[in-house]
A and B are shown apart, each in its own frame.
Chain A
């Protein structure tokens, strides 16, 4: 038996969050006194695959079919099933992101396995196979026990610190016999966002609410985000008003973010918004209303006019970076 983890890469560069999933798999393998194997799909150099060993896996399986450079969930499923059979894997892990969410539920069905979606902890093996996950969009946590023989987990990114070691993994090519249905979905066009920090993966986020008064003031948010290397986000009223694109909306009915730092500017902190951001490690709230509920959920607070504070904060960050 082994632990199997699906690795994601962008154009041959392994994503940081995938290293986290690999390390998570390797730690579980250690707890279960077994080994971990990483599965990588698509075009990628062996020199990059070697990095996976430093996060604790003993083996890397590589399916070099170039059709796998883009998400084809059923083909990814076939590859994972083939790798799982080869490695006799009883625990199968991927990230709780668009790719992982499209593939691992299929694995769970194929193997009649319990799935914990969005794991925040290692499994507690003393109580069974119990994993912590957020429920009610972060308003509470649940401890879920997987009772089936095979266990399937999608890991919430940014849950564990990365610790690179000096381990080495053997790299093996794996051939998978794909079926007709594995590439049944025809891709007409792909539009990749480049240059911007993706919100779901961002470690720093600057977010604006109605207190920004209008889209014309968003330059102040963007200046600060640019200086910090942060992604930008917004509250629901801002997205609904069309001031910002809807993919920037965080909250219970928008996206969930889990950055190290979330700076909320002119957002009052409705319970629905807090649900989307309370996985953030540190929250800074800037609001002119000292009674704004968001201050109760914040680590640091500044009371005042966002239009005046933002340029000062951006300037302070600039100064800090120069002296660092």
Chain B
């Protein structure tokens, strides 16, 4: 069984976002990049567990990005995985990104594609579903538990207002969140091994983007906090009712 894990490079969660070029771009100067936490902590680790337990034979990592994403890919390889693929393109359009990944995936034929529930930079959560559609495969989103046998996966997932357990035939695409696996820290052997693992650079398929980010905006600054005495909770309730009008 071959598993493909989609990896996205995102700014570290502690990053303060700053804009540049008349607010048409994000200033990435000084930004530390990490593997998107949902991709790393859940999708990648679960794929590695499936290999360790003998269910999977191959775990491949894929990302869409220019050469500057390679350090993050190597970090992912340090956790595990047999090889990584970098689609040599810079895209902010989910449709384009999904097509790049799907076109590559078709050339290998994966049984299972795992990704995080969303990336914490553009918060779309759409690429995984789009890959499923492009591969004519089933998709299960927001998984909290994944068991896999030779031909099917049993997946517990979050649904609107609850939880559901499903059986899905492979090939399938599953997006992962907390519960699927426990985060790991790469060990020295992994870090050394990652240096020599294959990182294949692939030219992207020809796909036109269908969205474009024109500009950015920072959230408005809060007007300032109004302090209320801890001995006067009646006043707070009154303010929430008459001034803020939220209760």
Q: List chain A positions with a Cβ less than 8 A from chain B.
A: 8, 10, 70-71, 73-74, 77, 97-99, 101-102, 104-106, 108-110, 112-118, 127-128, 130, 132-148, 181, 184-193, 198, 204, 228, 246-247, 249, 252-254, 256, 260-261, 270-272, 275, 278, 281-282, 284-285, 295-305, 308-309, 312-313, 315-317, 319-320
Contact = CB atoms under 8 A, between A and B. Distances in A.
Contacts of A300: 225-228, 236, 239-240, 244
Contacts of A252: 13, 120
Given A261-B240, A282-B244, A297-B222, A105 B217 contact: no
A187 B166 contact: yes
B121 A136 contact: yes
Which of the listed residues B158, B169, B212, B218 has the most CB atoms from chain A within 10 Å of its own CB?
B212
A117 B126 contact: yes
B80 interface: no
B237 A145 contact: no
Residues of B contacting A: mostly: mixed
B81 interface: no
Given A136-B121, A186-B166, A193-B163, 7 more contacts: A109-B95, A113-B210, A115-B124, A118-B124, A147-B210, A302-B228, A316-B236
A108 B233 contact: no
B186 interface: no
A260 B246 contact: yes
Given A140-B26, A191-B162, A252-B120, A309 B211 contact: no
A135 B225 CA distance: 25
Nearest to A320: B237
Nearest to B95: A108
Contact of B211 (A98, A115, A278): A115
B244 A148 contact: no
B234 to A, nearest CB: 5
Q: Is the interface of A mostly helix, strand, loop or mixed?
A: mixed
A89 B38 CA distance: 35
Given A118-B123, A136-B11, A299-B222, A99 B160 contact: yes
Contact of B161 (A141, A193, A260, A312): A193
A67 B179 CA distance: 28
A130 B24 CA distance: 14
A18 B185 CA distance: 42
Contacts of A260: 246
Interface string B206-237: 00011111111111001101111111011011
B230 A304 contact: yes
Contacts of A320: 234, 237-238, 241, 247
B: contact size bracket:
35 or more
A91 B130 CA distance: 18
Contacts of B19: 140
B200 interface: no
Contacts, number: 261
A140 B222 contact: no
B64 interface: no
Contact of B13 (A127, A187, A253): A253
A316 B233 CA distance: 6
Contacts of B141: 98, 101-102
Nearest to A103: B129
Contacts of A128: 214
B139 interface: yes
B93 interface: yes
Residue of B26, B209, B246 contacting most chain A CB atoms (<10 Å):
B246
A299 B226 contact: yes
A26 B85 CA distance: 44
A147 B210 CA distance: 5
B159 interface: yes
Contacts of A145: 211-214
Nearest to A146: B211
A71 B160 contact: yes
B244 A299 contact: yes
A304 B134 CA distance: 55
B228 A228 contact: no
A73 B227 contact: no
Interface in B1-48: 11, 13-17, 19, 26, 37-38
A109 B130 contact: yes
